[in-house]
Amino acid sequence: MATRKKIIGGELTVKASGKTAASKVTITKKLAPKKTATAPAAASKTAVAKKAAKTAKVASKKTKKRAVVVAPEERAFWVNNGEVLHSLVDLGSCLPGMTARVYRFHADPDHHDFALWVAHVLLDPQCAAALRSAASVTAAELVVVKHLKRYAL
């Protein structure tokens, strides 16, 4: 059986012929255009540039830190033990030395003084929600330390 191959305008035609007319077969296949050596490199450079831009956007969102809100004197938090708090930084430094009795006074199941103050005065509802569920001074301290990482100090 003899075969002939022809490429015409991007198509490959293969003709196979035998002794009888019934054995003639024609196969036509579209060929993809040839890619030059610079096309994949240019495409990969574009893809790399797009990925780098996307990574930079995500990184800038992650590294963007909030300013610490400092409450004026009339909106300061007066702790039962005499300390006066003006910011989340003050709360974070006050909690390690706070007794369980003083903490329970401000954060029992009926009163969530720290959480309310953080939510309404310091404008940090995520930290306030976490403080509301903190059952001890140590748990509250961990919450404040975690949330302080989001602030520019």
Residue 53 confidence (pLDDT): 67
The verdict on 20 and 94 lying in the same domain is no
What lies within 8 Å, CB to CB, of 67 at 6+ separation is 151, 152
Q: How distant, in Å, are the alpha carbons of 21, 77, 109, 147 from that of 133?
A: 87, 19, 9, 14
Q: Could you report the per-residue pLDDT of 76-134, keeping only the tens digit for each?
A: 999 999 999 999 999 999 999 999 999 999 998 888 999 999 999 999 999 999 999 99
The verdict on 80 and 16 lying in the same domain is no
- CA atoms within 13 A of residue 27's CA, in its CB half-sphere: 9
Residue 81 confidence (pLDDT): 92
Stated pTM of the model: 0.59
Residue 12 has pLDDT above 70, yes or no: no
Residue 73 has pLDDT above 70, yes or no: yes
- Whether 110 is covered by a domain: the verdict is yes
- Whether 133 is covered by a domain: the verdict is yes
Residue 112 confidence (pLDDT): 93
The verdict on 73 and 26 lying in the same domain is no
Q: Are 121 and 91 in contact (CB under 8 A)?
A: no
The verdict on 75 and 138 lying in the same domain is yes
The range of the structural domain enclosing residue 3 comes to 1-32
Number of structural domains, the chain?
A: 2
The verdict on 28 and 72 lying in the same domain is no
Tally: H helices and E strands in the chain: 6, 7
Residue 33 confidence (pLDDT): 60
- Whether 59 is covered by a domain: the verdict is no
- Whether 80 is covered by a domain: the verdict is yes
Residue 8 confidence (pLDDT): 63
Residue 3 confidence (pLDDT): 59
Q: Could you report the per-residue pLDDT of 13-70, keeping only the tens digit for each?
A: 556 555 554 545 555 555 556 555 555 555 566 776 677 667 666 555 556 888 999 9
Residue 101 confidence (pLDDT): 95
